[in-house]
Structure 1
Amino acid sequence: MICLLPVIITMICSLPVVITVICSLPRIITVICSLPRIITMICSLPVIITMICSLPQIITVICSLPVVITMIYSLPQIITVICSLPQIITVICSLPQIITVICSLPVVITVICLLPVIICVSVHCL
């Protein structure tokens, strides 16, 4: 029994440590049980970092949404302009004739104003 005394004293002295370990077992079990979540978090870090790094592009897309929505809303006008391009081209191509007509208007007006005189002269001359 005397030979066992040092072992017994050591056991008694180490009782607080054993009790502490036993008391902290729930925490240790909780940490062990939460290891899969911790590993998942660590493994998903690249995705999280990628998301954070791509935030400027995401913000740019969100900020440009009003412009995109405006473009979508103005599509009917854009389509109308595109569809009316043949008429616009026709008008542009016929501009020389239109200018000629406008430039010859004074002559036409003069002839119209002189018509009574021309008729009168032609009737009297006959």
Structure 2
Amino acid sequence: MKRLAELALAAALAGLLSAPGAAQGRLSLLDQGEYICALPGDATGSAWIEQSGRDFAITGGSSYRAARGGGTYLMEGKKVTFTRGPMRGMKFMRLGSGMLQEIARDGKLGRLRCHRAGPTRD
């Protein structure tokens, strides 16, 4: 009987630790506006090299618009995951107000950064 109680307790603790709320941060939203994406340059040229076709706009709620269409994203704590649309699967880390850095497939921060450039253009 004691062994059964220990197993039940272990299962309950494992369930709590694997719950989405325990593993992630609070849900929130990005600031609305146009985001311009760029890679860092070098000392011999521009400080930033804009990446055409990578820009997007946060349009309201958890929606975005990109050159190839719109979609949705999910922001948990500082992690932003694009869940639908042309940017589906892309992940970013929010560095500060209006600044995002791409998370590479290996989970490390990548070189691409996107910053909020201003309000959305209609």
Whether the TM-score (by the shorter chain) exceeds 0.5 is: no
Higher strand fraction: Structure 1 or Structure 2?
Answer: 2
Structure number, greater radius of gyration: 1
TM-score (norm 1): 0.20
